[in-house]
Structure formats: structure tokens, C-alpha cells
Structure 1
Amino acid sequence: MGLLSDLAARFRHERATLALDDIQALILRSRPEPYVGLHAMLRFDDAARGRDLVRRLAGHIPSAAGWTGDRAAWIGAAFSHQGLQALGVPQASLDSFPLPFRQGMAARAAQLRDVDGNAPAHWEAAFEPGNCHLALTIYARDEAALAEAREKALGELARSRGVTLVGSHAFGADADAKNPFGFRDSISQPAVAGSGVDPLPGQERAIAAGEFILGENSETGAPLAMPQPPELGRNGSFVVLRKYASRPGAFNDFVRDHADGADAQERLAAKMVGRWRSGAPLNLAPERDDPDLGADPARNNAFDFSGDARGFICPHASHMRRLNPRDGKLTILTDVNIHRIIRRSSTFGPKWRPDLTAADDGKEERGIFFIFISARAYDTIEFLQQEWINRGNFIDLGEERDPLVGLHEAPGTFTIPQDPVRRRVDGITTFNRLRGGEYLFMPSLAALRWIGAGGWA
């Protein structure tokens, strides 16, 4: 059962307390599996004409109210700070946004540790500061549904003046929903209180809606600060978009160089990720992959690390355990629930193959758009980049970095706890190179109409 059909089966309208008919579907609706789609980045060159496009696009963007699972495609829309500025949103409203959003992702490179090969100087033109004003994302079940949705969105653009398409990128994955390294992706998602969808086994409890939806109570018991006026901020959320060019051939080479035989190589790769390629977690399948487990959303997340305190099964340094420590003991204390994110990542390029080598990287474009949604998005991504991804102090590993998404300008190390002596695997390089990104605001449907109508006038 795919993520979308599973959510639809668990949705109970009578349990929903959120304003689902005002929240963009992309926030609370998971992508289908398999999926295809399109990211399009637009720049507003004329305020009035830009607002007219937003007004027309608003009619094509579905709400989260339709949890029946029968929609073949849907469109989401999110703005950069410079995009809202270009549309003429009043300065008082612009100033009410968080500082990182106002500055933009490129200006926050130091806080994000986007340096050296990941620095903004190496980003694609669509993500150069000031270029991406509006990001449109289309998810669809198949190419026919994508073509219909694309015609709606880009058809409105074609009928517009004063708006420029600065970049677009097709993406997609088959029913296995695997990322460029051959691992099932976006498995762990938080349950959102008030969404009408009960938590799955392993999700413990629903996270307070205000961690994801502005205007609702957060984990602190009160709403987080939101953009003003309420017509603009309420029922919206913040989005982090980061495009990575992946190097699966280099990853394959690393695994081959440090493990003898196919089984040992798969085990090392799983240790680095925290799951087998099917999505089966090491803590439920410690000896070998279990594809049935990996494909079952009722079981593939039903675990914690309480029985693996020393990391003998799933290393503390693995990608999955770093980014979702669950109930693991952290040296640097933090409330894990305020760093939960809704993932909407998308894979592009040919599928992973075991015979790929570093010499193949770059011949065909492979990668991932890392996209997540949270009312604390900017604090969260900067915390993740500084502490959980590009440092290891929180798990007593000093400067050791995430083996999959960490920036390794000098060859890095991956630590595998063992008894009596832990194993340190040296020579990790950067397997995902940042090619651009932006901090975005995803407004409610009412706010889209408010922006399109110039509601401040």
C-alpha cells in the first residue's frame, strides 16, 4: 500500500480539527507511489501581473480536505521573501517573517555550513539570490495526470506577462520510491494532531499541529509567531527546498572498497543509512533485508532505539538515527519533537544500479530535491546542518559527519560500534553536492487569494 492510499484509509473526517479546506494539500498529503512530477521556479517582473497569476493559480491548488486518495495530481505553491516583496506585499508584513526567511537561503550559508563545494557560488542559476520568487510543485500518479496538471499551472503562466520561468525540473520514482542510492525514501513522517489521521505503529503520538501549521498550538502549548496580518499567516507553513546532485557511483565505490562480497557491502550500506534498501530498518531486520517489512507502512517504522543503546544494531552515526534519534540518549539534549519535519522530497534521474562507479557520476543527472515543511523550518534546518549532519558532538563522535548528506571536503570517517573495539571506516567523501535552494513560505488557500487580490490595498 502506498503512502497516499494508506493515509486515505486511516483518515477520519470526524476526528479532524484543523481547517483542512484552507491548508494546501501538499502540506498534509503524502506523495503517491509511484510518482512523477515537476518543480518550476518563477520570477515576478511586474507586481500587478504577478498577483494576477497568483489569483488564477489559486483556483488550481487543492486543499488538504480531500483525503479520499482519488486525486491523480495536485499542485503546491510557495513564495520566497523576495517574491512576496516583488508582488507588493506591504513592508510591515514582510518584516513580520522570521529573519532567515527575509535573508534567504544563500545569505544563510554560514549558518547552514554551505561552504566550499556547497557554497552559493556553485549553485544553479534558478537559485541565485533574487531569481526564485515562486516555487510550484506538481505531484502526480502518472504521466497523463502530470500532463493535465502541468497544463493547468504552466498554462496560466503562458497566459501571463511580467512573470519569467527561471527553471524547471522533472522528477519521479517507481513503486519502490527509491532515492538515487537505491534506498526507499521518505518513510518516516510525523502524525499531525488534528489532521484526522491516527499515528502508525512507531509514531508514538501525534505531534502538536502548531509545529507544522501556523496559528495552531505547538509542542509548547501556544502558537508560534506567524506572519501578519492573520489573513496572510494563518494555516500556512514554511518550506525548505534544497537541490542535491547525487554521486551514487562514488557511494558504490566506497562500499566496495570497505567490504568484501555483495552481502557485506549491502550490510555496510545499510549501517550507513540505518535501513536496508527496501526500507526495512536494521532494528527490525538486523541480519538481512526484508522487502515485505520495508514496504509495509504499518511495520517499517514500529521501532525505537531503546534496546540498542550502544548502537550495535544501528550505529549512532547512521543517517537515519542522526536525523531522527527517536528515544535515543543524546549528549547534547534537545526536544526531538520540535525538530520533526514533514518530508516531501523527490528523486530525479535514472535509477540506482549496483555497477555504477565514480566514473559514471555526472554522465547523467541524478539527485534529490530535499524538501521539508515545518513551522520551525529555518531553525530546524540550521540546527540539523550545524549539529546533527555536520558534527558528531551530540552522539560523542566529535566532528564526524553524516555519512550520506554531510559535507566532507576532507575524507571523513564512519564509526560502527562493535565489541570489544569499534570499527572506524575512513575515506567518506561528499556523496550529495548542493546545487541550490531557497527558504519559502507556503500560504493557506485564503492567503493565496488575499495575495492575488492585493488584499492589503
Structure 2
Amino acid sequence: MTTPDEEPLLDGDEIQGNVAPGFLKPHMAVLALSLDRDQIPLMRRWCHAIASEVTTLSTVMRTREHVRALEHQRAEAKLSALRGPTVDGALALSDVLGDVRDVWLSVAFSRPALQALLPDGQSDSIAAFTDPAFQLGMTARSTSLGDPADPTAEGHHSTWKVRDPDILLVIGADDEGDLGDYLGELRPELARHGFGVIYEELGHKLDAIGSEHFGFQDGVSQPGVRGRYGPNADFLTPRYVADMAGQRPECWLYGLPGQHLVWPGEFVFGYPGQGSDPLLRGDERLPGPHWSRNGSYLAFRRLRQDVPAFRAFLEESARRLLPWEITAQKIGADVVGRWPSGAPVARTPGKDIPELGVDRLRNDYFEFGSDARALVLINGETTDRDHPDADADPIGLICPQFAHIRKVNPRTAANDVGGRMASFTRRILRRGLPYGPVYDQDPDADRGLLFLSYQTSIVDQFEFLNRQWMGDYANPRSPGDHDMLVGQNGQPGQHRLRQCAVPTAGGTTLAAVRDFVIPTGGGYFFTPSITALREVLGAPDADAL
């Protein structure tokens, strides 16, 4: 079997830092740009110049190392990298940064934008991108994702606020004021180089634990990326399970307990993807031209969240389930698969345990297809401290099959694409944040999620999760029911009804006609390496390559 010593060395100076390990900042701006096809030489010069400002994997990791040093110095304040408030499953840097205040930039291009910017000698290479979703764009794929086909319905692509822009800039910051200052400097530079800003929106962390607008901690179950970086060949994803007798292969499977390690080729072009076993590297994934190495596909969805509709669904469901004494909060936990704090239903089916919800060493440690036995960690603690470990739950009697976290990640449970751990090839790296004020502050405001994900196949990862699992009644395991939280039943008219059967209420069926999460914009992009940005897209002509 493959051990961690055989994980590949990642090119930290080439991979954009929001791909891996992710910005994970409490503030974010998303800017969508249009190209002026008459200003292509000027835009190429911008690509060449901006390459030195784009934040790399190496830059992010150097900051993380500095933050860890600060945490150690502030131990008296009980700040710890192992336990505390999280954003997308990682410690929020703003909680411990002190004087460290960064603004980080990432840039990605649509297929038409690449086609326009590539020099004549490289323009044919666009056909080497084999992903049909990237070639066509999100608007053309909208209804296949489950979005409404009725042009008058909210969610239909004709009503979107932004559709398939040429370029997407993602900017992360620790301080909102610093982010505003950066944007103030950036906008005139974009205009000077011929770009039009056709959409701009700010995202932000809503609370200390990183909740989304429905009130649940978000992003706990991020996969860990296998691989090493830097001169010391350190692991990109830290390992917290002690490597000792009786704990193999678990110590090789996890970063944090329950955080499955996935081969980098599932997220970054030019690296080995998943093999036939989670510990085995697969073939190199390079589904694009030679210059696409160290790049990644980016899927962007602007998703409006209908908080009143979601709350009404929970309250009405609680009235229907009153004979079984199932509360609205319990129904919400079953729909999500976690309680509001982030505590998993698999470990605490009867009530929320806030201290478990924010405990990164324990809040993601469960396996639906097998018992999650107690593990010894590198700090000497065990995963079952204060809380029982999760039992196997293959058919969803504890955490229902319709729970969102089961629909997008079956873990060790067998599913429609294969047996144990077949879901490894369907994982994505989520990098989004909420937009808009919290509901109780301004009920009438627009609010939702600026969803961002990185992967090496839009069709087989992002679209598969939306279409085949979240939007399908039977998959990933039948009987599965609909994903009541995010899923869309893509059928027309009244057939868009979503429903689920509650196993703890005698199989009573709950139904919802309205979607709680509605697409209002998006696009598909390629996030190039630093060299590709500077020397391919930024080349003045073919002779400069």
C-alpha cells in the first residue's frame, strides 16, 4: 500500500492559493469581468503583470506557518489550531492574526476568455480541455443541473444577476476595510486595461463558527488534499491521527479525524488522481493542454437562500410529526445531517452539543458504512473524549439518507458509483462565503451563498453532485429521497416537488414544492498556474512563448 511518504511534491509557486490550501478569509469579494475584444493586447499585458500579484499556495502556507507561531505565543489565551471557530473547516485566521492582515487575489477565465487571450500559436489548444461543461458554460448546462426550465421562474438562467462572465476575480481579506481599499485601487486598473466590471459582490463570515444563513455551521467536511510542499516537503494537509500500531490505515487515510485525504489530481491538473484504493495513487490528471498543469476548474454559483421558506418547512413538518415528538430543530438537523453548531447527527442523534460542533478533532469523525472506532491523536487525546463514537449507519436510521451531508459524501457507505469509498472521485474543494445580512437583522434583504468550488472535472464532480446525487430521488443509495436542503428536482411544473421519508416517524413523508436555495448567477472557469497566466495568457504574441 502507498504510504504518505510517496505523496507528490506540489508546485507551491505555481498553484493559485485559493485552489489549495484555500484563502479561508472572513471577508471576500467576487468580481466578474467582461473583455473588450478590441483591447486584447492591453489585456494580455494585464495578465502578464497581475501574475506577480496572484496569491500562491506557497504564500498562503507561509502565512499559516506564521499564524501557528502566533498561536503558540498566545497559548495563555487558549487559542489553538486544533479546536475553535472555523470557516470552511479551518481555523479562521482573523481569530489569531493580530497584526497580520493580508489581502489575497485569485483569477480565473472562462473558455471564451481563454480563446480570446491565447496568442495565435496557442489558440487551438483550447480544444484540449476535454470537459464539455467548461466548453459550453454554466448557462447552457443550467437545466441539466436541476435549475427551472420555465423562463418566468426565479432560478431560470434568464433571470440571473450574472451569467458566464469572461473572468472571475476572487479576493480574500482578513479586514473589511483593507478589502475595500484594495478594491478601490483595483477598479481603475481594470478599467485602464479594457475590462468592464459587470458584477461585484461581497461575502463575509456571519458568526464565530462560520454559519450559513439557515443557521448551520458550514463547510465542516472539507476533504484534505494529499501532497507535500516547500523545501522541507511538509504535508499540505496536517495529520492529527497518531501513526502507531493498530491505527493503520486510519492514520494514512485522515488529516483531521474523519477528513479523508484525496489525491491532488482530483483538484489540480497534472497530479495523480485517486487509484483503486484510497491509499493508491491513480493516473496523472491533465485534461487540458500542456500549459494547464497546476491549474484547476472553478465553478461559481450565486445561490439565494429563502430563509422564511426553510423555516416554514421545518415548522410545518414539526406539526406533522408531533405524535413522534420530533421538533423543528431535529428535522433541520436531519435535513442537514448536522445540528446548528456543526455537531454531527451521526455522533449525537438526540440533541445538539455545541462543544462537539466546534471541536475540529471530533466534529467530522464518523463513517456511515462502518463503526468509527476510537483513535489516539498526536496530542495524546482520543476521539471519543466526552462523546461516544459513531456506529455504522449504512441504511440511514441515525443520519437519514436524505441528509445533505450524506447526499454529497456517502463516506464509507456503498453507493451507486461503486463500493466503499467510491465517493473519493466526487469530492470538491469549497471556497465560498455567505453574502447579505443575517435574516433577523434585515428580513427583506437578499442573502445567500457565493459558492465556489475547485475540481479537475466539472462534469464528474460539481455537476455530478448536483444532478446525480443532490437532485436525484434514489441516489447515491436507494431508498435515498431528495436532498431537501440544496437539491433541486429538475422536473417541470408541479413535478419539482421534493420529498423525504422520516425513518424515526414510521416513514412519514415530508414534501416541499418551493426550493430553499435558488441559483441567481454563475459560470465555469479555468484557474491557470502563475506561469500560464504570465507567459501564455500574458504573452504579447506567439513569438514571446
| Equivalent in 29, 38, 53 of residue 21 of structure 2 | 29
| Amino acid in structure 1 at the alignment position of 2:135 | R
Unaligned 5+ segments in structure 1 are 1-11
Asked if 2 retains the 8 angstrom alpha-carbon contact of 1:75 and 1:149, the reply is no
Inter-partner Cα distance in structure 1 for 2:542 and 2:287? 17
Match of 2:424 among 322, 334, 337: 337
Deviation at 1:148, TM superposition (A): 4.1
Q: Distance in 1 between matches of 2:306 and 2:138?
A: 23
Question: Does the 8 Å CA contact 1:237/1:375 hold for their aligned counterparts?
Answer: yes
The answer to whether the aligner puts 1:377 opposite 2:458 as a matched pair is: yes
> What displacement does 1:144 show?
2.7
Query: Are 1:413 and 2:499 counterparts?
Result: yes
Q: Which amino acid aligns with 2:46?
A: L
Residue of structure 2 in register with 1:137 after alignment: 170
The aligned counterpart of 1:366 is 447
Give the Cα separation in 2 of the matches to 1:91 and 1:374.
Answer: 23
Tell me what 2:385 maps to: none
Q: Return the offset for 1:366.
A: 0.4
What is aligned with 2:69?
A: none
Structure 1 residue 443: Cα displacement = 0.5
1:44 maps to what in 2?
35
Bigger Rg, which one? 2
CA distance 1:303–1:152, change in 2 (3 Å): farther
Hey, what's the Cα distance between the residues in 2 that align with 1:27 and 1:169?
20
1:226 matched residue in structure 2:
287
Instruction: Quote the Cα distance in structure 1 between the aligned partners of 2:523 and 2:270.
Output: 23
2:357 is aligned with what amino acid?
G
| Aligned sequence identity (%) | 29
The amino acid that maps onto 1:206 is: L
Amino acid at match of 2:394: A
Matched residue, 1:3: none
List gaps (5 residues or longer) in structure 2. 65-99, 229-234, 239-253, 276-281, 371-391
Contact 1:74–1:149 under 8 Å retained in 2: no
Query: Structure 1 pair 205/407, CA: closer, same or farther in 2 (3 Å)?
Result: closer
Give the conservation status (yes or no) of the 8 Å contact 2:33–2:199. Answer: yes
Give 1:104's match in structure 2, choosing from 137, 149, 168: 137
Single out whichever of 382-391 and 330-339 deviates more from structure 2. 330-339
**1:245 matched to which residue of 2?**
304
Q: Normalising by structure 1, what TM-score?
A: 0.87
Q: Kindly provide the amino acid, as one letter, of the partner of residue 203 in structure 2.
A: F
Matched residue of 1:293: which SS? helix
Structure 1 residues 94 and 331: CA distance shift in structure 2, 3 A:
closer
Deviation at 1:428, TM superposition (A): 4.8
Give 1:50-449 correspondences, 5 Å limit. Answer: 50-66=43-59, 67=61, 68-69=63-64, 72-89=102-119, 90-98=122-130, 99-116=132-149, 117=153, 118-124=155-161, 126-127=162-163, 129=164, 132-158=165-191, 160-173=192-205, 174-195=207-228, 196=235, 197-198=237-238, 199-203=254-258, 205-220=260-275, 221-228=282-289, 230=290, 232-259=291-318, 264-305=327-368, 306=370, 307-331=392-416, 333=418, 335-353=422-440, 360=443, 363-394=444-475, 395-397=477-479, 400-408=481-489, 410=494, 411-418=497-504, 421-449=506-534
- Conserved? CA contact 1:54–1:449, under 8 Å: yes
* Shift, 1:151, TM fit: 4.1
> For structure 1, which segment, 297-306 or 83-92, has the greater mean C-alpha deviation from structure 2 after superposition?
83-92
Per-residue deviation, 1:277: 0.9
Q: Hey, what does 1:9 align to over in structure 2?
A: none
Note if contact 1:242-1:437 (Cα within 8 Å) is conserved in structure 2.
yes
Q: Output one character per residue of 1:57-106: Cα deviation in whole Å (capped at 9) or x when no partner.
A: 22211110131325622111110001112224533111111222111111
CA shift at 1:157, angstroms?
1.2
Alignment correspondent of 1:4: none
SS in 2 for 1:244: strand
Please state how far the C-alpha of 1:416 moved relative to its aligned partner. 1.9
Deviations 1:396-445 (A, max 9, x none): 247x42111122553321222237x3221123520011112111100111
